[in-house]
A and B are shown apart, each in its own frame.
Chain A
């Protein structure tokens, strides 16, 4: 290839003498140049392989987050001041208004592949032990069970079963995480098992307590991000609605007088209601029962190639009282972990390159000082300064380009050796990075282009100063005999 470059320069009418001299001079200083070459190979390898690693982690974490928590887009109440997050248990977002209408609309859209409503909240499980009542605290996602499983199939049931198919009579109840289950045993000596009847207690702002009987349906492990989400439990949305009184009369179906009476603040107003004509003539059939689902967010997955902007515009037109958050905004700090890793890798690599620059500069300067006689000779023979700088720029470019390409080839080889199985990482690292499991190495052009450009820029910069030293060598140096 280098010979071809030389040939090309000759054809283009440019004197290729500096190139020829550079190429052959490299060969004369093999051990020193090999050392620099190896450093650049290492640097390139680190940046290309590290970059591919970080990019793969980013892709992997995006897939894991979209696939298991957020979907592509999260819809949440426009009243919410906070962004949705996987951790909003103790300060849940306000429930989404008209969630059913929203779900109907989502179901009608053909750019949406899947969606599911989720409510995050906490409550208590009331159990009896040795005649005494015990309240166990309990963080949970309340979900539309079949839809949830269809959208995020991320629970591995260890004992018992998932909520079950609708109509099977088992679709209501709770699922406990393995860690939660074990904690109840360790802390309270209570071993809840699938089939156990328990009473759920809600804890509401006003201090009111609702008690809803339910059944433990299963014990599970989270498939992804297990270390982070092992304290999260599940509840079906029906039970959740009962627990938190999310059942009421639909707005607008109640006569106005009654509506205002319900909103009354004094006893007088309430007694006045009894006298009201409306009360006597109330047509019960006209009342619509509205299930306020209590969902705090709806996760939407799009079909491939869906126009998300068009979706958002259409959503706005519908006038639902919701805001949207993309997966990365709705995943708390998780989406940034891979980005941070990438920044760290880039930082380390830049540091290595800084060292390489100094070693490279040093070696080039030593190289030049050893060759002042030769440089002086070129100048005495009438070579311009540009001829001398061309020699040293070529030397650096040839060396670093060859080393960079070697580093790239090595990275590719390693990536292919790793193969489709991916890299297995220590659990704790892979949990935070991609939610667990091996990291699939995905080849993207980014790290390769970046690595090559960086080497070229770095080698150019590292050569600038030595080249200035070289061109300042006086032709008089040709005269100082050996």
Chain B
């Protein structure tokens, strides 16, 4: 294995994958989901991972998201190698460093809009009620749901639910927000609006986004597109900026 320790970056690299592989076993047959993937994400980027179904997009995001371990290779988040940490440490990363936006929104059905957004702050001990309230209210305004505070998820449209999820992802000020096909469960117009919101937040708040998609239109909204096929990176295009 090649050393990653000494490769310090000049600019703000917040995520680095080096030669990451992932193998699954279905009975005795081996599935090579990732066959050696390396790339970096810099602070403030707005990156899409694009590729056909089964190419390994979710696998990459799950490993960066600290909910899955690579078979080989290294994943550095904020300079720390997370590729073989125990569950407790990974949980801490998920709580304070990373946020998710899910394809199916994954709001907690029994909590209302306000409470769903507040939930990640309750997992982080030591935040008083006032601080929490300020942060939650600011983000509710940002995603344009100030009038739906008390609504439960099942009283909201798909687009509104994903807005709540975006606010929930932002509330902890994470290093990066990971979104696996955030628009897949939305019609294309709503999907585009959600992506525009993410774009706005990226520009206004400087939040780093890394999302996957196989939607051609959504891809065009990204400033960088990492193309992947059969577990290998086949392209990495940055729009001039």
CB atoms of A478 and B91 under 8 A apart: no
CB atoms of A381 and B100 under 8 A apart: yes
Partner-contacting stretch, out of B70-78, B117-125, B138-146, B233-241: B117-125
Chain A residue at minimal CB-CB distance from B94: A382
CB atoms of A28 and B100 under 8 A apart: no
CB atoms of A381 and B123 under 8 A apart: yes
**Cβ of B68 < 8 Å from any Cβ of A?**
yes
Chain B residue at minimal CB-CB distance from A28: B110
CB atoms of B122 and A17 under 8 A apart: yes
**Interface residues as binary, A249-283 with B (CB distance below 8 Å gives 1, 0 otherwise):** 00000000000000000000000000000000000
**Cβ of A21 < 8 Å from any Cβ of B?**
yes
| Cα distance A478–B94 in the bound complex, in angstroms | 13
Instruction: Specify which chain A residues have a CB less than 8 angstroms from the CB of B180 in the assembled complex.
Output: 479
**Cβ of A425 < 8 Å from any Cβ of B?**
no
CB atoms of B94 and A380 under 8 A apart: yes
Nearest Cβ in chain B — how far from A11, in angstroms? Answer: 11
Instruction: Specify which chain B residues have a CB less than 8 angstroms from the CB of A383 in the assembled complex.
Output: 91, 95, 123
**Interface residues as binary, B84-114 with A (CB distance below 8 Å gives 1, 0 otherwise):** 0001100111111001101110101111000
Chain A residue at minimal CB-CB distance from B67: A475
CB atoms of A476 and B106 under 8 A apart: no
CB atoms of A476 and B123 under 8 A apart: no
Give the A-B pair count, Cβ closer than 8 A: 84
Given known A382-B94, A382-B95, A384-B88, contact A478–B106 (CB-CB < 8 A) = yes
Chain A residue at minimal CB-CB distance from B103: A481
Instruction: Specify which chain A residues have a CB less than 8 angstroms from the CB of B104 in the assembled complex.
Output: 373, 481-482
**Cβ of A227 < 8 Å from any Cβ of B?**
no
Given known A478-B67, A479-B62, contact A382–B123 (CB-CB < 8 A) = yes
**Cβ of B184 < 8 Å from any Cβ of A?**
yes
In the complex, how many residues of chain A place their beta carbon closer than 8 angstroms to a beta carbon of chain B?
A: 27
**Interface residues as binary, A441-461 with B (CB distance below 8 Å gives 1, 0 otherwise):** 000000000000000000000
Chain A residue at minimal CB-CB distance from B168: A381
Nearest Cβ in chain B — how far from A399, in angstroms? Answer: 15
CB atoms of B96 and A382 under 8 A apart: yes
**Cβ of A377 < 8 Å from any Cβ of B?**
yes
Chain B residue at minimal CB-CB distance from A379: B91
Given known A15-B123, A382-B123, contact A374–B108 (CB-CB < 8 A) = yes
What is the interface of chain A, defined by CB distance below 8 A to chain B? 15, 17, 20-21, 24-25, 27-28, 373-374, 377-385, 387, 474-476, 478-479, 481-482
Extra contacts, 15 of them, besides A379-B91, A382-B124 (Cβ < 8 A), are A17-B122, A20-B110, A21-B108, A21-B110, A24-B110, A28-B109, A377-B108, A378-B108, A379-B94, A380-B102, A381-B168, A382-B95, A383-B91, A478-B102, A479-B102
Q: Would you list 26 pairs from A and B whose C-beta atoms are within 8 A, ordered by A residue? A: A15-B125, A17-B119, A17-B122, A17-B123, A24-B110, A28-B110, A373-B104, A373-B106, A374-B108, A379-B67, A379-B91, A380-B67, A380-B102, A381-B123, A382-B123, A384-B88, A384-B123, A385-B87, A476-B67, A478-B67, A478-B100, A479-B67, A479-B103, A481-B102, A481-B103, A482-B104
